[in-house]
Structure 1
Amino acid sequence: MFQSVYLNPLPPSLISTAAKWAWVSFTAFANLPGHFNRSIFDSPWETETDNSTLSKTLNYVNTTDFVAYDKRFLEIIGVDATIEHVQPLAFQSHEAPCYIPDTRQLLFVEWGKPDGDDGIHSWQYLLDVENNTLRKITTDPPTYNVHACVNFQGQLYGVTDGYGDSETGSLVQIDPQSWKATTLLNNFLGQPFGGFNDLEVDPEGNFWLTDSKSGWGRGIVDFAPPNDPSIYFVNKTTMQPKIIWTTTGNANGVAMSPDSKTLYIPDTGVSEFRPSNKNPHGRRMLWAFDVGSQGGVLANQRLLTSPISYFYDGLRVSREGWLFSGSGDGVDVIDPVSGFVLGSIRTGGGENVAVSMAFGEHEMWIVGKGGAWHVKDIKAKLKRDW
């Protein structure tokens, strides 16, 4: 068992588990000796230091599966949890994971340039989670450049970037049995969307869509975004959309609390496009908003947190209200009230990038640069009631 002044002692129940754990001591990290430095895009375990004790600790933590910052993370994840890299894939963004419990399958995509046919993808991956076999499927008609997906009442709802100058970003319903695809929305009264990035469906079936500049930035769509990145609320009955929030940064993930009273939105203006660049001074906030009782109105915007490293991409909320978000080399678990990061589920020594995730009851799948991971036997219940 590795011991260090920079780590809290693990409970005996976690010392001999199949997974490898570390519990960071913020008290010890509060005053570091010697030289140290890292960028916001590097995890803490990539910190440059001339102190040998700190360096050994960082190297050790970089080999772990779960890193705790708060005791509650130990209780959320539990002693039986493991993580497995079930599909090592090209170092290309993978997005839009949707778990289908009836068939024990996971839908996800490979997103954007430089891979594929000039970055245009008419197919999706389908993973059999029992034996971890992977195949490609195509919906009828084909759905191009899916960027996010949510399973709601047995149907899959995906959003797309669009492609070229011939197809705009769309909200699409996909039947996971027949793979029949139906476009529900592809314009705002004649105005094309910039390119959808993510979506949430609330308990009533209304849609919350993030319209971003990522597709334009990667050259997937040819036309410039018609307005700043925005969040759209779409009424399920009338399909009437309206903008409820805009940013000069970039609209990325979106997720709702279990009681439907809070909406969470990460602003990722830290990613700049044309030319593609990561600006450390760009926006990378995670915002929380109160949701009005009539829906479609946001109030009381507050900065919940900014990530310890990288930026928050895909965002999901568990049944107990914990926020899970892709953040560089792992998925951060965030307290929805204080905004403190409780711990991180890591995807492999800083060599991969966690982008988004999908929940089962006590398991989850993470997709990102490097492929797909399966986290099993999590103690907390993850899948929501709707």
Structure 2
Amino acid sequence: MKNAFLGRHAGLLVALSALLGAGPVWSQEQAPNQKASDAKVWETPAIEGVVAAGTKIELIKDGFTGTEGPVTLPDGSLIFTETQANRVTRIAPDGSTSVFVEGSNGANGLGFTANGDLYAVQVLKPRVGIIFPPPKVRTLADNYEGKPFGRPNDLVVDQQGNVYFTDSGVNPPAAGQPAPPANQPEPAKPAVYRINNKGALQRLAADIERPNGIQLSPDEHVLYVANTWGEYVLAYDIASDGAIGPKRNFAKLAGWKKTEGGGPSGGGSSGADGLAVDEAGRLYVASNSGIEVFSNKGEALGTIALPKQPQNLAFAGDDKKTLFVVGRGAAYRIAVLTPGFGGRAK
């Protein structure tokens, strides 16, 4: 049986199929391209209910220009953002790739609404908006109280069409690079936001040093936020009116390590980035250690190490029983035992 997301989006699937045939948005598909240097066979440990021991971690392709924001399409294929290349790329079920959206304004995190609008946080001109289908492209928000967003990072769209997103803030200049011009507008501070399905913007939290990945529990009663500079994945209870409760530490990250130039909280980083949930409510976190998996109570269940540090992840494929992971220019897929949550694209 197909998952609920695929069932509710039959119309979108038809529209996407038509576009694939017509070719105005999509480019010619390219065959999978594995690098010969990746001779080592990578396999998973046993994590009960998640992956069987020895499951192969399949390299789909290496050499992408930035890898972020994966989300499933109704046909079980996957799209993700090549932020630095300014495009959204599709991975077909056979592993071939094609361009889904060209000129994405540096899209990073992605999410679909029930009617097929593709929302994206965008970094070239920092904003949140719809980037597909072409007739619906528009900006939803680009500032908070007159201050421009710094670097919108990731988002999740709930089943009512409300958008939760993070703004990680402006990256500090690298060593030797000049500071930004003095007349440049002061950006909004790092924060977590919500745009309700009427279009109203609300700031939910502004006390996280480096908010990054964001996700909802399957029942959409809990909001999870990854703090790249923090030791814990954070959680907030969501009230019926969309307000959130106090911040709490949800899961301790094995990827946390002290660093010379890390975040301000003790000079460290967990590398916590993208988040995903499965049907059982387990939380999957891309971190310095790989893919860390936690129960719906925050208990550590195990870690899947990868050839390259992951940046984001999503379930796709038939019945959402394949975990796709992207990071550092590479894309991988792993067969899992429990499907991803079927009520949303991610």
- What band does the TM-score fall into relative to the shorter chain? 0.7 to 0.9
Measure how far apart 1:293 and its partner are.
1.8
The counterpart of 1:65, out of the listed 35, 43, 51, is 43
Unmatched segments (≥5 aa) in structure 2: 1-39, 256-269
The alignment status of 1:122 with 2:100, answered yes or no, reads no
- Give 1:312 deviation, angstroms: 1.4
Which position in structure 1 is the counterpart of 2:129?
Answer: 172
1:191 to 147, 152, 155: 147
Q: Which residue of 2 aligns with 1:14?
A: none
> Which residue in 1 is equivalent to 2:158?
202
Per the alignment, in what secondary structure is the counterpart of residue 143 of structure 2? coil
Give me the whole-angstrom Cα distance separating, in 2, the residues matched to 1:331 and 1:234.
29
Q: Look up the match of 1:136.
A: 99
Q: Distance in 2 between matches of 1:284 and 1:213?
A: 19
Deviation at 1:353, TM superposition (A): 0.8
Q: CA deviation at 1:64?
A: 4.9
**C-alpha deviation, 1:306, in angstroms:** 2.7
Q: Structure 1: give runs of 5+ residues left out of the alignment.
A: 1-61, 113-120, 271-282
Residue in 2 aligned with 1:366? Answer: 325
2:196 alignment partner in structure 1: 235
Question: 1:106 corresponds to which residue?
Answer: 78
1:340 paired to 2:299 = yes
Q: Give distance in 1, aligned partners of 2:99 and 2:173.
A: 26
For 2:105 and 2:173, the matched residues in 1 are separated by 17
**How many residues get paired?**
281
- 1:109-155 CA-to-partner distances (Å, cap 9, x unmatched) read 2334xxxxxxxx4323222232x22233444xx32111111233233
Q: Which residue of 2 aligns with 1:47?
A: none
The answer (yes or no) to whether the contact 1:195–1:211 under 8 Å persists in 2 is yes
Report the CA distance between 1:195 and its aligned residue.
1.8
> Which of 220, 239, 249 is the aligned partner of 2:209?
249
Over the aligned positions, Cα root-mean-square deviation in angstroms equals: 2.7
In the TM superposition, what whole-angstrom CA distance separates every residue of 1:310-359 from its partner, at most 9, and x where no partner exists?
Answer: 4311012222210011112521111221x2321123322xxx11110121
Tell me, in whole angstroms, the C-alpha distance in 1 between the residues paired with 2:173 and 2:342.
33
Partners of 1:197 and 1:214 within 8 A in 2: no
Give the equivalent residue in structure 2 for 1:45.
none
% same residue: 25
Q: Could you state the TM-score of these two structures normalised by the residue count of structure 2?
A: 0.73
Cα distance 1:225–1:97, how it changes in 2: closer, same or farther (>3 A)? farther
Deviations 1:243-266 (A, max 9, x none): 110125111111111111111112
Cα gap change, 1:315/1:204 in structure 2, threshold over 3 Å: closer, same or farther? same
> Higher Cα Rg: structure 1 or 2?
1
Deviation at 1:189, TM superposition (A): 4.8
Task: Give TM-score scaled by structure 1 length.
Answer: 0.66
Which AA in structure 1 matches 2:244?
A: L
CA distance in 1, matches of 2:52, 2:282: 15
One-letter code aligned to 2:337: K
